[in-house]
Amino acid sequence: MDKVPGVSEVVLNIKRLLEGEFRSVSVEGEVSNLSHSSSGHWYLTLSDRNSSLSAAVFKMDALRNPLIKKLKNGDKIVCSGSIGVYNKRGTFQLIVKRMSPAGKGDLKEQFEKLKRNLAAEGLFDPEIKKEIPKLPKRVAVITARGAAAFQDFLNIMDRRSEWYDILLSPALVQGDAAPNSIRKALHNVIKYSLEASEDKKIDVIVLTRGGGSMEDLWAFNDEALAWDIYNCPIPVISAVGHQVDTTISDYVSDLRCETPSAAAEVLSHAQTELKESLESSGRQLGRNIEYRIRTESERLYKGHPRKVLDVIWSRVNKYRKTLSTMDLKNRSHEYLGIYDQHQRLDDGIARLKIGLERKINRLNERANGANDLLRVLDPSNVLGRGYTIIKNKKGKVIPSMKDFKKLPAKDEFDIVFHDGQSQGVKGGE
């Protein structure tokens, strides 16, 4: 016989099937049996003409859905969440995450439809995004007056920034009147900046509020607001909700930040870097000054007259000791190189003598050769072989008969022999 399952096992199987199949559902119905527990949870029943469904809104979800405090039996609402099974009673119920009045339709569907339409219009194109200034001087914040989001933003700016000017443009950030209120605040900021002097103009606008349900943030999904942000001449940062929250203003703004604190960190980042750089430079400057003071102090200590005098006397004593060991008087030849000079002089005299002797020998040889040549050419040697030389009275040699005939008649001339000479007279022709 097969084992019969117990109640817990059956309920557990049903729980697995239901919770696995209905993780995300939306239900429209009329509220009844509305109750609020001391622990902060809400319980109600959703009914239509033929059926009813138990629902629970736990404390944290109730805080994100302010509508729960305004509900009364008989109201028609739309609830979104998942199906859960309560084991002890064996009943199932809707665990509500979001709720909105019936008639508004599915907000998620409206959101996606508006998102598609605006994307098609080009409002989300990255190319048209304006650059967020790195060092903004004046920041306009659009949020509710006294909101925690605004205080979070200021706390971060106070801690991370050295200079900034915050202009709060208060607006409603929740409810039916919120979209127009936010638009009016945005227009006021733009108008103020356009009319302000150059040093008072707004550098960036931060559109912000804390987290909440889609219904809480619905004001930031307004189509007219999206177009206003798109046409805004001032860069806009959207910091609406928490990390998981996304609104149309996030897509159309020039920069989306997950939280108000994140927006403050973005705007103060450059100042923080500059501050850290200045602090680092200050520390480095301090180290350089300390090093310079230390080195100059050492130089000043070494330059003290007493210290300089000690150095001078130390050097004088050192040189005096060196001089005493040098014995200049008895080793003058060694230090001055006189011996070397004498030797070089002796070598030069010897080379000069040899050169003169060679020069004299060459000149004697040339003289002897010239003397031999003169002896060969000496006319007296020719006269010894029987020749004579005829000269006129002036001693000029008469070398030819032609010159002899030119002598006048009875002109005297000399006849030179090898052993003497004699005179003669030219006879008439």
Structure confidence at residue 329 (pLDDT)? 64
Q: Which residues of 23-179 form beta strands (DSSP E)?
A: 25-36, 42-47, 52-57, 76-86, 91-101, 138-143, 165-170
Average pLDDT of adjacent 10-residue blocks, the chain of 429 residues: 72 74 84 90 89 91 88 87 82 88 68 90 92 90 89 87 86 90 94 90 92 81 93 93 82 91 87 80 89 85 77 84 70 65 83 90 90 76 71 77 76 75 69
Same domain, 125 and 230: yes
Phi-psi region of 386 (alpha: psi -120 to 50; beta: other; left: phi over 0): left
Beta sheet of 165-170, edge-to-edge order: 165-170, 138-143, 204-209, 236-240, 255-256
Q: Are 168 and 260 in contact (CB under 8 A)?
A: no
Residues 6+ apart with CB under 8 A from 48: 28, 29, 30
DSSP letters spanning 10-55: HHHHHHHHHHHH-SSEEEEEEEEEEEE-TTS-EEEEEE-SS-EEEE
Residues 6+ apart with CB under 8 A from 412: 393, 423, 424, 425, 426
* ∠ CA 354-359-365, rounded to 5°: 125
Domain of residue 224 covers: 110-272
Same domain, 101 and 151: no
Domain's final residue, options 257, 272, 287? 272
Give the burial class of 374: count Cβ atoms within 10 A of its Cβ; 0-12 exposed, 13-18 middle, 19 or more buried: exposed
Beta sheet of 420-425, edge-to-edge order: 389-392, 412-417, 420-425
| In-domain check, residue 323 | no
> Is the C-alpha dihedral spanning 334, 335, 341, 344 positive or negative?
positive
Domain's final residue, options 221, 248, 272? 272
* ∠ CA 383-387-391, rounded to 5°: 85
d(CA 5, CA 408): 190
d(CA 193, CA 180): 20
Give the burial class of 264: count Cβ atoms within 10 A of its Cβ; 0-12 exposed, 13-18 middle, 19 or more buried: buried
Q: What is the dihedral of CA 220, 226, 232, 236, to 10 degrees?
A: 40
Same domain, 363 and 395: no
Same domain, 40 and 122: no
Structure confidence at residue 104 (pLDDT)? 52
Angstrom CA distances, 330 to 52, 140, 323, 333, stand at 135, 99, 13, 8
- Neighbour tally for 360: CB within 10 Å: 10
Same domain, 140 and 44: no
Same domain, 114 and 243: yes
| In-domain check, residue 401 | yes
Q: Are 144 and 173 in contact (CB under 8 A)?
A: yes
| In-domain check, residue 397 | yes
Crossing angle between the packed helical segments 305-326 and 260-302, to the nearest 10 degrees: 50
| In-domain check, residue 392 | yes
Same domain, 402 and 355: no
Same domain, 162 and 233: yes
Tell which residue, 169, 173, 174, 170, has the closest CA to residue 190: 169
| In-domain check, residue 226 | yes
Domain's final residue, options 235, 257, 272? 272
Tell which residue, 58, 21, 23, has the closest CA to residue 41: 58
Residues forming a β-bridge with 82: 95
Same domain, 171 and 131: yes
| In-domain check, residue 284 | no
Same domain, 149 and 193: yes
- Our count of domains for the chain comes to 4
Same domain, 222 and 145: yes
| In-domain check, residue 306 | no
Dihedrals φ, ψ of 392, to 5°?
Answer: -80, 180
| In-domain check, residue 299 | no
Structure confidence at residue 414 (pLDDT)? 78
Same domain, 178 and 89: no
Give me the CATH number covering residue 19: 2.40.50.140
Tell which residue, 234, 251, 75, 248, has the closest CA to residue 169: 234
